[in-house]
Structure 1
Amino acid sequence: MAYTLAAPVVHGEIIQKSRFLAKAAPVASEEEALAFLAAQREPEATHNCYAYKIGPLYRFSDDGEPTGTAGKPILHAIEAGGLDRVVVLVVRYFGGVKLGAGGLVRAYGGVAAGALRRAPKVPLVDLVEVRFRVPFAQVGRVRGLLRARGLLAEETYLPEGVAFALRLPEGEKAAFLRGLWDQTRGQAQVEG
């Protein structure tokens, strides 16, 4: 099972007089990741290196560091932690001591991994959309079913009844539809 972060986290370290600051956050889309990077970037820093992973999509940047010494180690820290839908920005303020390629890999990867270890995590749950319509006579029963399961649904009134749309964990869809069928005495019309 994959996990994501429950909340943003910041972690800093001084390595050979350079200050490294890792900022990590959960994201749902590439647009969110790019917005996070734009907002958290520190223009006065020597380097703003990052990586993000959202499902099969991933990107990373070395931002002027030697190729493969910053972005890839950050991405590796994300993947090694079993995380998805996560963005990590590591900011470096150069302290005057060159670290070499191996030192940079260890520094960027280590600071990113340190931030991700400290962050609270939550399991990733894939949600599916369920849409259905019921006659007006069954609306109260459907609302009771939704309340009992702690679900919220969008309602649209139609001339013949009410259309409901909701998102729920994929593993709960079949049980929900059975309960819906039972509650409405087979009068619910599921779309798709």
Structure 2
Amino acid sequence: MQTFRQLGQADQTIHKSRFIARANRCENERELALFLRQFASEHQTAGHLAYAFRMKTAEGIVARFSDAGEPAGTAGKPVMQMLDGQNYVNCCVAVIRYYGGINLGTGGLVRAYGGTAKMAMEQAGSIPFVEMVQLRISTTYKRVDELTREVQRLHGEVLDKQFDEAVHFLLKLPSDAAKQLQARF
């Protein structure tokens, strides 16, 4: 599995219709909704906002797409096929269309939406997907610096710290590293 390295964007005009695509990594449904809402608000006069996403959840991979009023299977579906075919997860690709007055036909729409999405995906690049988990660990005040350094070394993140007779951490770590860290602390 892989995910996007960075935000990717593409813009092209085909038979007077303008297609703008963005490819973005989204770690959860909240980030996904925010990404789509922001993209739509930047292009309020656009005729269509088609999208596709694949999200890894505890129940498995959730994959959905929307053709946004275009003929069925001509906008979101070609984008979804690219995400599926390259095994992307925690990713969303959205394509805005400003209608130019010329009908493209179903084949033309598939090529236009799919081609613009592909350009954005190429610009976003890919990295291997690393599944992250949240972990709660409590430790003594003496070991706080040691734990913090270890979390950084494992490419994790401290989400929250609470202090009382011990220090309680909420961490986000790669799933294989979480077991190692838990054994040490």
TM range (shorter): 0.7 to 0.9
Distance change >3 Å, CA 36–CA 128, structure 1 → 2? closer
Does the alignment pair 1:125 with 2:126? no
Shift of 1:13: 1.7
Secondary structure at the aligned position of 1:21 is classed as strand
**Per-residue deviation at 1:148?**
4.6
TM-score w.r.t. the length of structure 1 is 0.78
**Residues 155 and 64 from structure 1, CA distance in 2 versus in 1: closer, same or farther, beyond 3 angstroms?**
closer
Q: For residues 22-101 of structure 1, what are the structure 2 equivalents within 5 Å?
A: 22-41=21-40, 42-55=43-56, 56-101=61-106
Contact residue 90 and residue 112 of structure 1 kept, 8 A: yes
From 139, 143, 146, the counterpart of 1:144: 146
The answer to whether the 8 A contact 1:130-1:167 is kept is yes
Are 2:2 and 2:127, in contact at CA under 8 Å, matched by a contact in 1?
yes
- The residue number in structure 2 matching 1:186 is none
Q: Distance in 1 between matches of 2:44 and 2:151?
A: 48
Q: Displacement of 1:142 after TM fit?
A: 4.6
Alpha-carbon distance in 2 for matches of 1:170, 1:100: 46
- Between the aligned partners of 1:152 and 1:12, the Cα distance in structure 2 is 35
String of CA shifts for 1:87-131, please: whole Å, max 9, x gaps. 222111223332211221121112111210121333222222332
Q: Distance in 2 between matches of 1:63 and 1:90?
A: 10
Which protein shows a greater Rg? 1
Q: In structure 1, give the amino acid aligned to 2:36.
A: L
Matched, 1:174 2:179: yes
5+ residue gaps, structure 1: 181-192
**The one of 158, 167, 182 aligned to 2:164:** 158
Report the CA distance shift for 1:67/1:106 in structure 2 as closer, same or farther (over 3 A). Answer: same
Change (3 A) 1:70 1:149: closer
Q: Is the 8 A contact 2:52 2:76 kept in 1?
A: yes
The answer to whether 1:5 aligns with 2:4 is: yes
1-side partners of 2:66 and 2:84: how far apart? Answer: 16
From the superposition, tell whether residues 148 and 48 of structure 1 become closer, same or farther in structure 2 (CA, over 3 Å): closer
Note if contact 1:145-1:179 (Cα within 8 Å) is conserved in structure 2: no
User: Any idea what the Cα deviations from partners look like across 1:4-47, whole Å, max 9, x if unmatched?
Assistant: 22322210122233221112211122232222222212232232
Q: Secondary structure at the match of 2:88?
A: coil
Query: 1:105-120 residue pairs with structure 2 within 5 A?
Result: 105-120=110-125
**Structure 1 counterpart of 2:161, one-letter code:** E
